[in-house]
Amino acid sequence: MTDLFWPGDERAGSAMSPTSFLSAMVRVEEAWLAGLVSVGIAPHAAKADLAGLVEPADADRVAAASEAGGNPVIPLVSLLRNRITESNAEAARWLHRGLTSQDVVDTALMLCLREALDGIDTEVTAQVAALVRLADEHRSTVMAGRTLTQHAVPITFGLKAAGWLGGVLDAADAVAGARHALAVQVGGAAGTSAATTEFAREAGLDGPAAVAVALAEGLATTLGLASRPPWHTSRRPVTAVGDALVTATDAWGRIASDVATLGRPEIDELAEPAVAGRGGSSTMPQKQNPVLSVLVRRAAITAPALGATLHTAAALAVDERPDGPWHAEWATLRTLARQAVVAGSQTTELVSGLRVNANRMAETVASAHAALMAEQRSISGEDAEADPTTYLGTADLVIDAALSRARARPGRAP
């Protein structure tokens, strides 16, 4: 995909694309149909390969027909039935039975979000490795610490990188939690699975309600999602993903903001990776704009509002299936997830190739020595020139703690 309104969108690939969503909905329908057969509700002849019935071009057709019913499942089911009736009338008859549109949309969204979270997890792992290296290599690179835009006390660039690392590790934890929250949705018309239970009763199966539950659990297993009771109006699986994505863009935004600030010509302590053709201006030949930082900050600015939309929708999810709040989630999730995947890729490139100007950092420390050591003088009462490297407090311990946390990630030791 490409998006003139969001430069770099192609980095997200197929994540949360219309064709991916279409394919995910078909996967849900096919897995459910197979489940109906496996528990003995539908005849063996009803099992069918539905994936071969649709193609990417069908996304536009389904989208155009979605307005009439307010969601894409209705026209998709109609399309599938039309295409399979001649070759497999039983599959056409049992297709979608026991499900409701929200079951299919929600479960398909979970599949699509998993792909996006997988991509972000890959980026975060690369970021952790790069930041571990920066924190360790520059634990003794003294620079000016700044608070409220002014010189404060000496720190090291290793300490700053360790702070970035902590934020990225928080994001990694949030993403892992969100992946565990991805759950199958099966509840039927009002979350009671009444239709599935009735089908099981008509088929003469023992414990029809238990069969309905087992069918939902089987769908979860087939699709690799968590199993939980119907959550039509309990939207934590959605908000958990939104929160994780915002946590990630927060961490990346902080890094990008520091790089953009410390890369100003009058500071010149950091610089983005040098890439031919990047960072230029349409009119000013001298410019070398920090484009990666700018674009990452863009995502960090927009993500919280998108996350808030998901929480607002969750709070207004009335009755047994909501009228509007549910519908507001789909595009919001698409936008938030794709933009986060893009920002994650850009942040990985940023930290992996970050240029650290240690000499410039040392010059700044020397020129601002009096201000940077003012706190130490106020404590010791001495006016003698103090060495900034002796006033770093617990910097090394903070770095070590961040590195230990990073290296303790299961199977991810940088």
Which two three-digit tokens encode residue 231? 């959550």
Residue whose C-alpha is closest to residue 87's, from 36, 47, 141, 120? 47
Count other C-beta atoms under 10 Å from residue 378's C-beta. Answer: 8
Residue 151 φ then ψ, to 5°: -60, 135
Radius of gyration (Cα) for the chain, nearest Å?
Answer: 27
Residue 281 annotated in active site: yes
Q: Which of 321, 377, 405, 409 is catalytic?
A: 321
Cα–Cα dist 104/339, whole Å? 24
| Residues contacting 148, CB < 8 A, separation 6+ | none
Which residues neighbour 29 within 8 Å (Cβ) at sequence distance 6 or greater? 50, 76, 77, 80, 95, 96, 99, 104
Dihedral angle sign, alpha carbons of residues 263, 265, 266, 269: positive
Say which residues have a Cβ less than 8 Å from residue 136's Cβ, sequence separation at least 6: 158, 399, 403
Instruction: Exactly one of 87, 234, 281, 380 is catalytic; name it.
Output: 281
The Cα-based distances of 291 to 46, 71, 82, 354 in angstroms read 54, 38, 49, 13
CB atoms closer than 10 angstroms to residue 139: 20
Q: Please provide residue 302's backbone torsions phi and psi, each rounded to the nearest 5 degrees.
A: -90, -25
DSSP 134-164: HHHHTTT-EEEEEETTEEEEEEEHHHHHHHH
- Residue 367 designated active-site: no
Residues 6+ apart with CB under 8 A from 258: 160, 164, 270
- Residue count of the chain: 414
The Cα 163–Cα 399 span in angstroms is 8
DSSP assignment letter at 183: B
- Helix or strand (DSSP H, E) at 145: strand 142-147
| C-alpha span between 184 and 220 (Å, rounded) | 5
CB 183 within 8 A of CB 237: yes
Active site residues: 281, 321
